[in-house]
Structure 1
């Protein structure tokens, strides 16, 4: 028996069932259906006017504020009414429950839940750990050891210096008396000097031994405190891990046929084997879970960002985004079982019917104009690519063929070689950054300034590949020169010269607020999808590896 669905919001005026799409949209790569856009517009209007709760989304540009991902799911209730559900990712306004939004799959904030008790245990350990780490006894033991180590080093160094000085003085005495004393007396002098040397060496050894014993005692004293700290940290780690695992077990997700799996079971099949933090808290799983529990038939869904972008990611206010892959793909892979879902468009070859235009060719190399939406090299699911077509066209060519790559969605000049030696020489030029490349891009937005350089280090988004994020800690250096070459309305045409060649570098540097703050038109990852990504590699210059002559080629484009 299904429960009542208080969070179901019917469309007004009603939507006829005939207007519904036949299948649920593929959540990881699809444009929102008009019904999802309508639901999102209603939710956005509510976010702009509601007064039931307060949250700073950072509009406009508030420091320290951050936006939030929201989702809508168009559904049909048992009575045949069409409406929608709304959800937010994570918490909002320090709450898991807000009017008009579906609840979490599992509420870790419930007062009578085990999480609160476990949290109190962890907090108690944290308090003990903090008290011990800040205790005067630990500080005194640590300082006593430091002081003793300094004093030991000083005294031992002084003793060694005295020993060296005494050795020099003995040598002077020996040399001074060598010709003055009779042989017997000189032998007695040498024996006395030797005894003096041995005595001083024993004195140094005694000093070192005494300090070693004293330092060992001080280290043992310090170890009694640091050992307790280590034990408490290990207890906290074990308790936190057990608590987190128990929490994950409470996140139990249904599929369309009522089969249930928890997070540890779902992620056991992934490369990471364990769920990442925050798994199950995104909008899409919340929406589907609520729909299944309340007998609502999912129709179409969409997620959008509302508010200020995070510092590292690129999220534009009001833009729609696919579900994240790191957290949501394994969960939705289970939850969508039993539903009729559109096929994954990424499994379809977008280069069907497209051809490669040869710009230049000789016995050693080949320069082609790659159309947009064609892979440079075979992908995981699609083999058709520039490489494969070149291999078929030049079956006797040796070497890797491809010298550099362009993103599938980027069009323009791509350099290939027909033999290993040419490939090696051109790769060396790329490595030395002596190959010059210029791109042209149409940006969605008005760019401030006329030219400049962007330095934003990049790394892959581990939770949402293939997206890239800006990361000053682990990112690789990424630098791009740019210059405005035209403006029309709210769009800007620019030239881009990549100094480095990071994945999605030009796309991120264009879209990020620390870059040009204007995504490339048609960028489905960092902007808004369109008929094509308006990014084109229009010019390349290099030294021909055979003739040693400087050459340059240009293929203009009209977006």
Structure 2
């Protein structure tokens, strides 16, 4: 695969990696790209060179090949956090957004903010019910009263499940506080699907619970251009505002005095 020089994209302040309004202290918190840019470039180049993300595994896992990112599923965001430990040494963390080809956790990468075993256990029944409703809906004629009723039932079941899922996510900040995701969201109200699964929340969550002080963060896109054309291989992007921006204010809180 031909190497691509990673570069900024779009109209945004290239110095700011992420931002969000804090529900705790009523102000915006930000984190710069800062010293994370270099390690992010290194990660991008390593992924291109090795064609996998399980760099240190003795036997490559086929699910963790970067070919996945160039297929029908499309590419994915990757992030790097440069942090300082208690001894003042620099620590570099890395994360991928969401799951990687159905895999939640990969050695050497920041873990999700949810207990994945509990997630699978507690959502299985509801997910099966929602899928069953979908099959029933598909078998009924359009605009029929029965179909309309099942559509409403599925919509409510999906909304309830999403609320339950978000309540499983635990978001820490740099004041030593941890709250369920719904209590960290600004503005108040239901957060979009996938909130809490992006790179920045994973990285900041790990740093906050392991005594690390973030110095900078950088995120890039790797793989096939997304359907909307807003993400391209080899480009830096700031953390998304519609998902990450709703919770990162709380997660960054306390960092100014760290």
Could you say which TM-score interval applies, normalised by the shorter chain? 0.7 to 0.9
Partner Cα distance (1:329, 1:281) in 2: 12
Partner Cα distance (2:199, 2:166) in 1: 17
Contiguous gaps of at least 5 residues in structure 1: 1-23, 143-222, 342-559
SS of corresponding position for 1:57: helix
Q: Structure 1 26/295 Cα, relative in aligned 2: closer, same or farther at 3 Å?
A: same
Instruction: Check whether the contact 2:226–2:232 (CA below 8 A) recurs between aligned residues.
Output: no
State the Cα distance separating 1:96 from its structure 2 match: 1.5
Name the count of aligned residue pairs: 221
Partner Cα distance (1:249, 1:318) in 2: 34
Q: Please report the TM-score for the alignment, with normalisation by the length of structure 1.
A: 0.36
Q: Structure 1 241/311 Cα, relative in aligned 2: closer, same or farther at 3 Å?
A: closer
Q: Structure 1 42/118 Cα, relative in aligned 2: closer, same or farther at 3 Å?
A: same
**Matching residue of 1:244:** 162
Q: Please report the TM-score for the alignment, with normalisation by the length of structure 2.
A: 0.74
State the Cα distance separating 1:110 from its structure 2 match: 5.5
Partner Cα distance (1:319, 1:118) in 2: 38
State the Cα distance separating 1:332 from its structure 2 match: 1.0
User: Looking at both structures, which has the greater relative contact order when contacts are Cα pairs under 8 Å and sequence separation is at least 6?
Assistant: 2
Q: 1:66 and 2:78 equivalent?
A: no
Contiguous gaps of at least 5 residues in structure 2: 1-14, 20-29, 53-59
Residue of structure 1 aligned with 2:250, choices 313, 321, 334: 334
Partner Cα distance (2:116, 2:128) in 1: 13
Q: Structure 1 68/109 Cα, relative in aligned 2: closer, same or farther at 3 Å?
A: farther
State the Cα distance separating 1:253 from its structure 2 match: 0.9
Matches within 5 A, 1:61-140: 64=72, 66-106=74-114, 112-131=120-139, 133=140
**Matching residue of 2:173:** 255
Q: Structure 1 109/44 Cα, relative in aligned 2: closer, same or farther at 3 Å?
A: farther
Partner Cα distance (2:32, 2:158) in 1: 40
Q: Structure 1 338/30 Cα, relative in aligned 2: closer, same or farther at 3 Å?
A: closer
Partner Cα distance (2:69, 2:120) in 1: 31
State the Cα distance separating 1:26 from its structure 2 match: 5.7
- Measured on the aligned residues, the alpha-carbon RMSD in Å equals 2.9
Instruction: Check whether the contact 1:96–1:109 (CA below 8 A) recurs between aligned residues.
Output: no
Instruction: Check whether the contact 1:30–1:322 (CA below 8 A) recurs between aligned residues.
Output: no
SS of corresponding position for 2:171: strand
Partner Cα distance (1:249, 1:118) in 2: 15
What is the CA deviation profile of residues 121-180 of structure 1, one whole-angstrom value per residue up to 9, with x for unaligned ones? 22233333344x2xxxx6xxx9xxxxxxxxxxxxxxxxxxxxxxxxxxxxxxxxxxxxxx
Residue of structure 2 aligned with 1:318, choices 234, 238, 241: 234
Higher Cα Rg, which structure: 1
